[in-house]
Structure 1
Amino acid sequence: MLGATPRQYDLLRYIVGYIGAHGYGPSFVEMAAGVGVKGKGAVHRLLTGLEDRGLILRRHGSSRAITPLHVPAIPRTPDGAPLQVVKLEYFA
Structure 2
Amino acid sequence: MSSLSEIACDFIKTDPALANEVARQLAPKTGLTPRQRDALKFISDYAAKNGVSPSFEDIQHGLGLHSRSGVSRLVDALIERGCLLKLSNRARSLTVLRAAA
- The normalised TM-score by structure 1 is 0.74
Percent same amino acid at aligned positions?
36
Q: Distance in 1 between matches of 2:96 and 2:43?
A: 8
Structure 2: 5+ residue stretches without partners: 1-29
| Offset of residue 71 of structure 1 | 2.1
| Offset of residue 13 of structure 1 | 0.2
Structure 1: 5+ residue stretches without partners: 74-92
Q: Distance in 1 between matches of 2:72 and 2:88?
A: 12
Deviation above 3 Å: which 4+ runs of structure 1?
A: none
* Equivalent position of 2:55 in the other structure: 27
| Offset of residue 4 of structure 1 | 1.1
Name which one, 1 or 2, has greater alpha-carbon Rg. Answer: 2
* Equivalent position of 2:36 in the other structure: 8
In structure 2, give the amino acid aligned to 1:67.
T
Q: Distance in 2 between matches of 1:55 and 1:64?
A: 16
Aligned-pair RMSD on alpha carbons? 1.1
1:61 aligns with 2:95: no
- The normalised TM-score by structure 2 is 0.68
Q: Distance in 2 between matches of 1:20 and 1:30?
A: 14
